[in-house]
Amino acid sequence: MSEASRPRLSAVPGPVDRDRFWASVEDTLDELARGLVARIRAELPSYARLPEDEHFRNVRALYGTMTRSLAAGSPPDPEVLQSIRASARRRAYYDMPVYDVLAAFHYAHRDLWEALRRSELASEALLVELVGPMAHWSQAMSQAVVDAYVAQQGGREQHERETRARFFDLLHADGPGEGIADVMRELAFDPDGEFTVLVAGSRWWPRESVDALQRAGRRITGVLHVDARAGLMTVVSQGAAIDDVVALAAEVGGENRPLGIGLARTGPAGIRLGLGDAARALRLAEADGRAAVRFETEWFRATIPDLAPLIGPLLEPAARIAREQPDLADAVVAYAESGFTLRGTGSALALHPNSVSYRLSRWHQLTGLDVRSFTDLALSFAAVTEARRNP
């Protein structure tokens, strides 16, 4: 490499240096996009089918999005990946080979990296920081292209969609779902095996995202099928690590979207029960503002809203005290979650154990419920939960 072409690497950059670096990169993007479009169209003849002005707009928008994301230290968000999939579908429409499209995205990644390296304001520390994010972008773009082309497949994809819709119709039917086992086998499920159901609010899941999650499921071990109806996005999974499914949902649908996870259960009847588990867990996730709640670990709180109509007369007196005396309610919950000790409760609430003892005694005095009794503690916890759900 000649001295003229060797990148100049400076010391660790400060905030001002980073701002100047990214501003200088932004200034080169029009030229970089024009050069890339010309090279792609020269080296990949199939790109002659794509209008050149559309091609330039796509490349320039991609470069702008990539550099803003890299500068902010954020990964590609779902909207960006949807845009990439849309561009790839356009290329599929023009009958351009997927290998050419993947090659073009590789060129885009490589040319941007070279532009970053050549910048006079680049530093070794900054470039090292960008290696991982750039690789993440390359992988995400390639996967989005593949997803788009898979989605364009004809009869097989259509048959699978119809079979999947039939499966969910039978799953939600009032009756026993005659023939559901045969439909499940067509979808590569073992009808006698164990399943886990996950649900999310469908308002976060437009049809395109549901389809994208279905395609993304092919990247992990196991089988999963996805559906959206009656206000819920539903995933039925078999043989898949639940953490992998949760990670895919966050990748496709966005981080911190509430998700309910049901118990692992067996057979079609177990799936129906799992739908209820997951819906209850989702209700709790939405109430708490959490990304994911497992029914397995939070079944008690998750089922309290369903029990409330049955045991309302038992709950309401203590729930009223919980609304009027939230410090006492906090002490009850902390006691239940801190090993049933005054010291543990005090640590959780930053209180002296004597203060905790006073609050629990006061709760006993006002409600008649002694938290040292299992039944009274369970009823106290349920009453506080209901009070917080309906303040």
Stated length of the chain: 391
283 Cα distance to chain centroid:
17
Its pTM stands at 0.59
pLDDT of residue 30: 94
What b/e readout covers 75-99, taking b as 16+ CB neighbours within 10 angstroms? Answer: ebebebbbbbbebbebbbeeebebe
DSSP helix/strand/coil, 253? helix
pLDDT at 107 over 60: yes
Handedness of CA 4, 104, 63, 131 (dihedral sign): negative
Nearest to 232 by CA among 270, 267, 275: 275
Question: Which pairs count as long-range contacts for 222-230, CB under 8 Å and 24+ apart, including other chains?
Answer: 223/187, 223/188, 223/189, 225/164, 225/167, 225/168, 225/187, 225/189, 226/164, 227/164, 227/165, 227/168, 228/202, 229/168, 229/172, 229/202, 230/172
- Mean pLDDT, range 241-245, rounded to an integer: 93
pLDDT of residue 4: 47
Task: Please check whether residue 289 is in contact with residue 282, taking contact to mean a CB–CB distance below 8 angstroms.
Answer: no
CB atoms within 10 A of CB 257: 21
The pLDDT tens digits for 118-165 are 888 888 888 888 999 999 988 888 888 888 887 766 556 777 889 899
pLDDT of residue 15: 57
- Mean pLDDT, range 198-214, rounded to an integer: 90
DSSP helix/strand/coil, 19? helix
The pLDDT tens digits for 289-303 are 888 999 999 998 898
